[in-house]
């Protein structure tokens, strides 16, 4: 609004500027710490004198005299403390300028714990309807930028509905903590109340419900903005101020503002908004800030236990910024930040920006409640720390870890009912609490029963505190008592452990529907599955159904293995007459692929290997234990183009595809010209649609950065001769499963997923580029791209393997994920926001792809041409193909 009115606003700035300059010297920072004893106690006798307003300031020496435009009904008087006052003088001034803005003291604050007088500014209005609201609010905001008061009292003779609320919102869009009171009853929540107590003192009350109320201002741009706007959820329409600006107090921030403007409904999404919520709305329904502006992007909540906090603000990239009066560097993305120490009690946090367009200020209040050490007595047990917290169904060989946090230095124990088994817990003391733990061997409980657990804390003085764990513990005698399960859908993930780590525990296998698994335990919503002696996996219950008790666990003997070349691939076939679980593991260091079958015993007397295979050198097998059978497929090179193991009828079939076409050794010159010719490259721009990915410090969305880099990379790959499959070409949110399907259907030779990273712990902490892969065969690919990315001068964040992200969890083709840099790092984000830099990233990723493809082609050259094609008819039917 400030810019839009600035052009048309003809009133000179002299009154505001003169007044503010003077006021600044009178009641600026030097007065902020004034203590009670320095101020004369005053008995208040009337409404007027309740304001300890002691000086009048009406004229500004050296400024030009009022022009006719000044006689518009905008008048501003500032009354400061420090000198005696005559009511008449002020009244004259008020009549001359129309609006009386006084600074006084709320004497009721004398009784507050801080003991400080609260400085309250008072706005005196004859008729709000008659004032020039845009000009008035501009001045009021400018005044508020310079004066740190505690509250604003709006004293109006009469006013149209909503006008006082609009003013209250305008005030709080500058200083959000101000208590705004009015002599007029207003239904808006978020207003404080000022009540005369009758003994000459006044009581200012900020009701608790005022805290979450959000001030919002929206300026409707356009030639002739409407005078009223209907807002969904509000009974009375909002009045605009003649320049399309409306301000109101809202109960929280809605995700979408639903407006009816001139009969048209307009939906304004607010998810990207930061405080203060002061935006302009274009005719196209888009909101933006109007200069000068400043916003608080990250900071503590209204109440915090942290003693210091890194505050993140944002303004125009060309502005200068301050946090609590301290200048900070403004990045090209407009962000600026600083660490702020908080004192116990109320703290003011003030963000300021100054640019050619003017000044902006936004200030909030934070209550710092320091962490209070907890005393050893009375006894307490932290309910949330109780573990286990989920129902368990276990074997006698299992051990249950029991833990809780409680009052420091006592005796903890756990009691198991029925049976009354009691175990002492060991204790680990921290500053003001102890960690109590015990291990309960399930073999001490009777199978077939269900148990409840209760922990107990006992002081030396005999006090006792008890808590029942809200979990049931069931004991089964053996694996046979657990049910058989069957996978019910495609791509059911099984993990090695229940690690609550990023993207789930380490990944053991992914099954299609119909695999039969033996449960050997239940941990909340997870089933533990038995894969043989000392081998387990975990699967979420959503992927399996429980089979009837009479179902027989599958198992078989393996006799023969077959491997042979086909036109475009090497094919290994392992008998799989029953749907037992299996896993496949890449071992590039051992130059082999390992296929493990669970519940299988060997009678392998027949390992048939045809000649002419390109990648399969030979096969060997091993019975690892009574139920675990492993086939090793030894390779001619670790530089393969992918492999895939899938059940096909009664066989598990492993396929290793050849590149198409195989490079001609003599044609290497023409390949250099178009280094990716004959290749299909799939590119995934990470996230999309409602899935924004990481949000940068400036509000930049990862999905947008990813998409732009991906499209740039795609064009470069095409120029290098590749056919490109973009998994996302616009801002859409295709589910990952859908993307994985199209990825597999794409026939791509290589997969690159483009992301950008994010981390907590400071806006200049984690930085740099990193690369991720899941299958160890793709580590060289990740390394090649990484080396190229480092040429951009990035810090090293590393090459990360075993990464679980679904779209690169592929063995069927080389797949890597590029985390370009950190959205959460101010300098990284500055670069990511720059299209020229994203182009450089795309160029480096391309170079990495080309480097890796050259490695692959060199390996192919060494392997030589394929022998003449194999006779299909000679395939042994026993191979099951
Ligand atoms: Zn991402």
Distance from residue 676's CA to the centre of ligand 1 (Å):
26
What mean pLDDT is predicted for residues 11-22? 24
Indicate whether 28 pLDDT > 50.
no
* pLDDT tens digits, 142-158: 878 887 777 777 777 66
Least reliable range by pLDDT among 220-229, 243-252, 585-594, 865-874: 865-874
Q: Which 3 state secondary structure label does DSSP give 845? A: helix
Distance from residue 819's CA to the centre of ligand 1 (Å):
7
Distance from residue 781's CA to the centre of ligand 1 (Å):
19
**Where does the pLDDT of residue 186 fall: very low under 50, low under 70, confident under 90, or very high at 90 and above?**
low
Rounded to 5 degrees, what angle do the CA atoms 770, 771, 773 make?
150
Residues β-bridged to residue 427: 436
Q: Residue 301 class from Cβ within 10 Å (0-12 exposed, 13-18 middle, 19+ buried)?
A: exposed
The CA distance from 207 to 224, in Å, is 39
Task: Identify the structural domains of the chain with CATH numbers, from first to last.
Answer: 1-211 (no CATH), 291-372 (2.60.40.10), 383-475 (2.60.40.10), 479-546 (2.30.30.40), 556-658 (2.60.40.3500), 665-862 (3.40.630.40)
Distance from residue 234's CA to the centre of ligand 1 (Å):
39
Distance from residue 278's CA to the centre of ligand 1 (Å):
30
Q: For residue 60, what are the contacts with CB-CB under 8 A and spacing of at least 6? A: 14, 15, 17, 18, 19, 22
What mean pLDDT is predicted for residues 685-698? 92
Distance from residue 685's CA to the centre of ligand 1 (Å):
9
Indicate whether 435 pLDDT > 60.
yes
Q: State the DSSP string of 222-285.
A: SSS--SEEEETT-SSPEEP-SSSEEEEEEES--SEEEEEETTEEEEEE-TT--BSEEEEE-TTS
What mean pLDDT is predicted for residues 193-216? 58
What's the confidence (pLDDT) of residue 236?
A: 85
User: Count of CB atoms within 10 A of residue 259's CB?
Assistant: 21
What's the confidence (pLDDT) of residue 149?
A: 72
Distance from residue 694's CA to the centre of ligand 1 (Å):
6
Distance from residue 841's CA to the centre of ligand 1 (Å):
16
Least reliable range by pLDDT among 124-128, 194-198, 455-459, 599-603: 194-198
Query: Which residue has better confidence, 849 or 88?
Result: 849
What's the confidence (pLDDT) of residue 161?
A: 66
What mean pLDDT is predicted for residues 403-421? 94
Least reliable range by pLDDT among 120-134, 157-171, 278-292, 759-773: 120-134
Distance from residue 296's CA to the centre of ligand 1 (Å):
24
297-303: long-range pairs with CB below 8 Å, 24+? 297/335, 297/697, 297/698, 297/699, 298/697, 299/349, 299/364, 299/366, 300/342, 300/366, 301/366, 302/211, 302/364, 302/365, 302/366, 302/367, 303/366, 303/367, 303/368, 303/369
* pLDDT tens digits, 570-595: 999 999 999 999 999 999 999 999 99
Least reliable range by pLDDT among 111-125, 272-286, 415-429, 824-838: 111-125
Least reliable range by pLDDT among 392-396, 419-423, 503-507, 698-702: 503-507
Q: What are phi and psi of 548, to 5 degrees?
A: -60, 150
Question: For residues 494 and 530, is the Cβ–Cβ distance under 8 A?
Answer: no
Distance from residue 688's CA to the centre of ligand 1 (Å):
10
Distance from residue 607's CA to the centre of ligand 1 (Å):
45
Distance from residue 820's CA to the centre of ligand 1 (Å):
10
The CA distance from 638 to 143, in Å, is 72
Distance from residue 390's CA to the centre of ligand 1 (Å):
31
Q: Residue 611 class from Cβ within 10 Å (0-12 exposed, 13-18 middle, 19+ buried)?
A: exposed
Distance from residue 700's CA to the centre of ligand 1 (Å):
13
What's the confidence (pLDDT) of residue 26?
A: 24
Distance from residue 789's CA to the centre of ligand 1 (Å):
17
Indicate whether 17 pLDDT > 50.
no
What mean pLDDT is predicted for residues 442-461? 93
Distance from residue 311's CA to the centre of ligand 1 (Å):
24
Distance from residue 702's CA to the centre of ligand 1 (Å):
7
**Where does the pLDDT of residue 381 fall: very low under 50, low under 70, confident under 90, or very high at 90 and above?**
very high
Distance from residue 693's CA to the centre of ligand 1 (Å):
5
**Where does the pLDDT of residue 504 fall: very low under 50, low under 70, confident under 90, or very high at 90 and above?**
low
Least reliable range by pLDDT among 21-35, 189-203, 614-628, 829-843: 21-35
493 vs 420, 648, 728, 800, CA distance in Å? Answer: 40, 19, 25, 20
Distance from residue 711's CA to the centre of ligand 1 (Å):
16
Distance from residue 778's CA to the centre of ligand 1 (Å):
19
What's the confidence (pLDDT) of residue 130?
A: 61
Distance from residue 377's CA to the centre of ligand 1 (Å):
47
Question: Across the chain, what does the average pLDDT equal?
Answer: 79
Least reliable range by pLDDT among 106-120, 262-276, 808-822: 106-120
What's the confidence (pLDDT) of residue 735?
A: 64
Q: Which 3 state secondary structure label does DSSP give 46? A: coil
What's the confidence (pLDDT) of residue 129?
A: 56
Distance from residue 817's CA to the centre of ligand 1 (Å):
9
Distance from residue 526's CA to the centre of ligand 1 (Å):
27
Indicate whether 235 pLDDT > 80.
yes
What's the confidence (pLDDT) of residue 803?
A: 77
What's the confidence (pLDDT) of residue 396?
A: 94
CA atoms within 13 A on the CB side of 614: 30
What's the confidence (pLDDT) of residue 164?
A: 81
Indicate whether 165 pLDDT > 70.
yes
* pLDDT tens digits, 653-665: 999 999 876 555 4
Query: Which residue has better confidence, 34 or 351?
Result: 351
User: Count of CB atoms within 10 A of residue 268's CB?
Assistant: 16
């Amino acid at each position: 609004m400030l810019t839009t009115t600035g052009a048309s606003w003809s009133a000179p700035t002299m009154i505001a500027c003169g007044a503010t300059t003077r006021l600044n010297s009178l009641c600026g920072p030097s007065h902020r710490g004034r203590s009670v004893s320095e101020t004369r106690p005053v008995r208040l006798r009337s409404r007027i004198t309740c304001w300890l307003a002691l000086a009048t300031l009406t004229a500004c020496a050296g400024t030009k005299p009022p022009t006719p435009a000044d006689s518009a009904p905008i008048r501003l008087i500032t009354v400061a403390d420090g000198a005696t006052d005559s009511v008449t003088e002020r009244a004259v001034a008020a009549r001359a300028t129309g609006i009386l803005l006084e600074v006084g003291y709320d004497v009721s604050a004398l009784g507050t714990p801080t003991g400080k007088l609260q400085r309250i500014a008072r706005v005196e209005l004859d008729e709000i309807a008659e004032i020039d609201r845009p000009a008035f609010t501009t001045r009021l905001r400018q005044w508020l930028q310079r004066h740190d008061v505690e509250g604003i009292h709006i004293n109006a003779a009469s006013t149209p509905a909503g006008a006082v609320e609009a003013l209250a919102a305008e005030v709080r869009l500058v200083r959000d903590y101000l208590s705004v009171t009015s002599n007029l009853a207003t239904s808006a929540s978020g207003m404080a109340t000022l009540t005369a107590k009758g003994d000459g003192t006044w009581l200012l009350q900020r009701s608790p419900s005022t805290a979450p109320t959000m001030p919002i201002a929206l300026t409707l741009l356009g030639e002739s903005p409407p005078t009223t706007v209907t807002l969904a959820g509000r009974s009375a329409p909002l009045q605009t101020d003649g320049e399309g600006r409306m301000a109101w107090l809202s109960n929280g921030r809605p995700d979408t503002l639903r407006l009816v403007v001139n009969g048209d409904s307009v939906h304004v999404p607010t998810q990207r908004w930061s405080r203060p919520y002061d935006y302009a709305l274009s005719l196209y329904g888009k909101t933006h800030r109007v200069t000068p502006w400043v916003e608080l992007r990250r900071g503590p909540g209204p109440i915090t236990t942290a003693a210091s906090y890194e505050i993140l603000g944002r303004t125009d990239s060309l502005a200068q910024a301050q946090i609590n009066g301290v200048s900070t560097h403004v990045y090209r993305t407009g962000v600026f930040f600083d660490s702020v120490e908080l004192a116990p009690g109320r703290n003011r946090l003030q963000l300021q920006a100054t640019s050619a367009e003017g000044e902006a200020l936004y200030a909030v209040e934070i209550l710092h409640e320091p962490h209070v050490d907890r005393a050893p007595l009375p006894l307490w047990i932290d309910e949330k720390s109780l573990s286990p917290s989920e129902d368990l169904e276990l074997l006698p060989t299992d051990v249950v870890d029991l833990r809780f946090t409680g009052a420091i230095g006592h005796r903890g124990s756990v009691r198991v009912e029925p049976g009354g088994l009691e175990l002492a817990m060991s204790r680990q003391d921290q500053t003001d609490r102890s960690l109590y733990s015990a291990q309960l061997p399930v073999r001490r409980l009777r199978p077939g029963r269900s148990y409840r657990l209760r922990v107990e804390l006992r002081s030396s003085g005999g006090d006792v505190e008890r808590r029942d764990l809200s979990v049931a513990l069931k004991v089964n005698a053996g694996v046979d008592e657990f049910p058989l399960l069957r996978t019910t859908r495609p791509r059911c993930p099984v993990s090695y452990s229940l690690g609550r780590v990023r993207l789930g525990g380490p990944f053991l296998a992914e099954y299609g529907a119909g695999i039969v698994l033996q449960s050997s335990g239940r941990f909340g919503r997870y089933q533990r599955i038995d894969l043989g002696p000392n081998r387990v996996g975990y699967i979420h219950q959503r992927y399996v159904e429980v089979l009837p008790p009479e179902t027989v666990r599958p198992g078989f003997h393996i006799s023969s293995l077959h491997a042979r070349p086909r036109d475009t691939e090497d094919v290994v076939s392992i008998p799989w007459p029953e749907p037992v679980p299996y896993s496949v593991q890449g071992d590039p260091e051992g130059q082999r692929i390992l296929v493990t079958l669970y519940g299988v015993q060997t009678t392998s007397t027949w390992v048939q290997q045809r000649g002419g295979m390109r990648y399969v050198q030979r096969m060997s097998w091993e019975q690892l234990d009574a139920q675990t059978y492993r086939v090793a497929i030894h390779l001619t090179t670790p530089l393969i183009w992918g492999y895939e193991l899938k059940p096909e009828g009664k066989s598990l079939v492993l396929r290793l595809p050849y590149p198409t076409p195989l490079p001609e050794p003599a044609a290497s010159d023409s390949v250099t010209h178009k280094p990716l010719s004959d290749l299909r490259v799939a590119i995934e721009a990470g996230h999309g649609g409602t899935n924004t990915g990481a949000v940068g410090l400036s509000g930049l969305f990862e999905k947008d950065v990813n998409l732009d880099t991906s499209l740039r990379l795609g064009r470069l790959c095409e120029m290098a001769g590749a056919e490109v499959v973009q998994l996302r070409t616009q801002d859409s949110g295709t589910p990952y499963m859908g993307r994985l399907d199209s990825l597999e259907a794409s026939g791509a030779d290589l997969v690159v997923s483009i992301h950008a990273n994010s981390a907590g712990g400071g806006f200049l902490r984690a930085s740099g580029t990193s690369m991720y892969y899941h299958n160890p065969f793709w580590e060289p690919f990740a390394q090649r791209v990484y080396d190229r990315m480092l040429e951009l001068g990035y810090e090293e964040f590393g090459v990360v393997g075993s990464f679980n992200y679904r779209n690169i969890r592929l063995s069927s083709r080389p797949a890597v994920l590029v985390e370009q840099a950190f959205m959460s790092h101010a300098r990284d984000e500055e670069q990511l926001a720059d299209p020229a830099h994203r182009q450089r990233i795309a160029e480096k990723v391309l170079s990495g792809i080309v480097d890796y493809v050259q490695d692959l082609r060199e390996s192919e050259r060494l392997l030589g041409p394929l022998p003449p094609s194999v006779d299909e008819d000679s395939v042994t039917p026993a191979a099951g193909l």
